[in-house]
Amino acid sequence: MVSTLQTLEKQLEDTLIKHLGIEITTLEKSRVNGKMPVDRRTTQPSGVLHGGASTAFAETLASIGGMANVGFPDEMAVGVEINANHIKSVHEGWVFGEATPAHIGNMTQVWEVRITNEAEELVCLSRVTLANLKQKQTTL
């Protein structure tokens, strides 16, 4: 199980998550919180938060939550479907996300992710479906 923020930080090095500036602030089986900057890495050329960045943020939070609910490293949780409703634009500062499970099953998980701005206004509402998979073992 991905159990600590310190362990997680090592696994996130040199990934999209780090390139977007996403920071995980809470990691529990029933809740994952994080924040993402609204800057040149995450905006459209017009300076508005990119919907793809919001979607990547949502899937990141849900997937980390999913990994906390399987037998990692022997099992993993991977995204199979995501829905994102972009509700409010953001031009600067930070957005904050909270992922909570709607369903944790043996084969699938469904997570709801709420992304808000610094004024705690809803920016994006997302639902992420994950598949629980066994890791393939490699032998030399």
Number of domains in the chain: 1
Given this model, what pLDDT does residue 105 score? 97
Residue 21 lies in a domain: yes
Residue 110 lies in a domain: yes
Residue 56 lies in a domain: yes
Where does residue 110 rank: exposed (0-12), middle (13-18), buried (19+ CB within 10 A)? middle
Which residues are known to be catalytic? 59
**In the predicted model, what is the mean pLDDT of the chain?**
92
Domain of 78, in residue numbers = 5-134
Residue 40: is its pLDDT beyond 60? yes
Where does residue 138 rank: exposed (0-12), middle (13-18), buried (19+ CB within 10 A)? exposed
Residue 139 lies in a domain: no
CATH number of the domain residue 127 falls in: 3.10.129.10
Residue 140 lies in a domain: no
Residue 113 in contact with residue 62, Cβ under 8 Å?
yes
Task: Quick: pLDDT tens for 77-105.
Answer: 999 999 999 999 999 999 999 999 999 99
Residues 99, 102: Cα–Cα separation, whole Å: 10
